[in-house]
Amino acid sequence: MSCKLIFHLFIRSQLRYCPAHKTPNSGLPKVYEHDGKPAQGFGLMYKGRLVCFYTYECDLGNGWEDQDIYNDPENIRQQALKMGANILQYVFAN
């Protein structure tokens, strides 16, 4: 994809809220406590397909790091890993 196409997609599109029941794995895990807001997912749609998934108030990458780095509980780390795997599965299946 060229930079011009990416620029065109982002300028002409708006992020849409993806309700928990429509996001992979039935919702985003709250991995990192930013300011007490719930974790949310947003997406950019192009020709009816999700082409970009943006997380807000959820830092999945923290859950993917070694436990020594952020000290996230094991259950939160597992939720982050499952969400990441489900996002990849969604990408390849759709």
Do the domain assignments include residue 19?
A: yes
Measured CA to CA, the distance from residue 17 to residue 42 in angstroms comes to 4
The pLDDT confidence band at residue 21, using thresholds 50, 70 and 90, is: very low
Do the domain assignments include residue 79?
A: yes
Do the domain assignments include residue 42?
A: yes
Residues making up the chain, counted from first to last? 94
Residue type, 54: Y
The parent domain of residue 63 ranges over 14-93
Number of domain units in the chain: 1
Do the domain assignments include residue 75?
A: yes
More confident residue, 24 or 76: 76
Burial 29-57 (b: 16+ CB within 10 A, else e): bbbbeeeeeebbbebbeeeeebeebebeb
Residue 24 confidence (pLDDT) above 80: no
Do the domain assignments include residue 4?
A: no
Measured CA to CA, the distance from residue 93 to residue 12 in angstroms comes to 26
For 45-89, what is each residue's pLDDT tens digit?
777 777 788 888 888 888 898 888 888 889 989 989 988 888 888
Do the domain assignments include residue 64?
A: yes
Q: Give Cα separations from 80 to 6, 18, 34, 52 (angstroms).
A: 27, 17, 16, 18
Do the domain assignments include residue 70?
A: yes
pTM of the model: 0.70
Do the domain assignments include residue 88?
A: yes
